[in-house]
Amino acid sequence: MTKPAVFLAAALTIGAFASTASAATCAYSGAVSPNEGCMVGSENNDKADLLDGFFGVDSYSQIAKAEFGGMDEGSGLSVSGSVTSGSFSIMSSLYDTYETLVLVLKGGNGKPISPNDFVAYELADGTLSGTYSSPFSNSNSGNATGISHITLYGGGTPAPVPLPAGIGLLAAALGGLGVAGLRRRKRAA
């Protein structure tokens, strides 16, 4: 095999593995709208560290949690509806703090459930409100089951807002005026 052929084969092999590892879609993507994709978690409960690596983000923090029939935690997430469907809204200022916002639906009663335990949805940039419906069903009967709680997580840091290019030019002009003023004072003295 020639060097270009070996390189091409290696690139195709790496590309095939990379595309399967970074897939951010699942069969339950319609349960939250709008979203950029979903991933299924297989732990007993959703926690920030269990999301690490989801949607290409290394680390997440829990922002807020809406508990059906329990106490809500944190702020920034408002949920209205039932354990099977409803709507949500989030504070716009969260996009100033986090690069990625993820809404997690945790399965409720009716074990064994499918999908197993929780589904994470990456919210589309700028999403301030949307709808949800339970993606969960009982694995034995196929009957729909409700959501235990909905949690909002934030991950990553947003890119800094660049200063306009004119700032550098303004600084250089002001510096030049300062130097010109000093020369004028020296000549006058």
What average pLDDT score do residues 8-36 get?
Answer: 54
Per-residue pLDDT band for 3 (boundaries 50, 70, 90) equals: very low
Query: Would you state the pLDDT for residue 68?
Result: 83
Per-residue pLDDT band for 105 (boundaries 50, 70, 90) equals: very high
Which sequence spans correspond to the domains of the chain?
3-155, 164-189
Query: Would you state the pLDDT for residue 6?
Result: 34
CA-to-CA dists, residue 23 to 17, 27, 38, 54, 60, angstroms = 10, 12, 9, 10, 19
The model's pLDDT over 27-69, given as tens digits with 9 standing for 90+, comes to 888 899 999 988 888 776 788 888 888 999 999 999 999 988 7
Whole-number average pLDDT of the chain: 78
Query: Would you state the pLDDT for residue 50?
Result: 87
Per-residue pLDDT band for 168 (boundaries 50, 70, 90) equals: low
Whether residue 13 has pLDDT greater than 50: no
Residue whose pair of structure tokens reads 């589904």 in the numeric block: 119
Query: Would you state the pLDDT for residue 163?
Result: 59
Contacts of range 90-94, beta carbons closer than 8 Å, 24 or more positions apart: 90/123, 90/127, 90/128, 90/129, 90/152, 92/128, 94/63, 94/152, 94/154
Q: 4: part of which helix (H) or strand (E)? A: helix 3-21
Whether residue 17 has pLDDT greater than 70: no
Strand runs (DSSP E) across the chain, as ranges?
32-33, 37-41, 60-67, 73-74, 77-81, 85-90, 100-107, 113-114, 118-122, 129-133, 137-138, 147-155
pTM greater than the 0.75 cutoff: no
Distance CA 5, CA 58 (A): 35
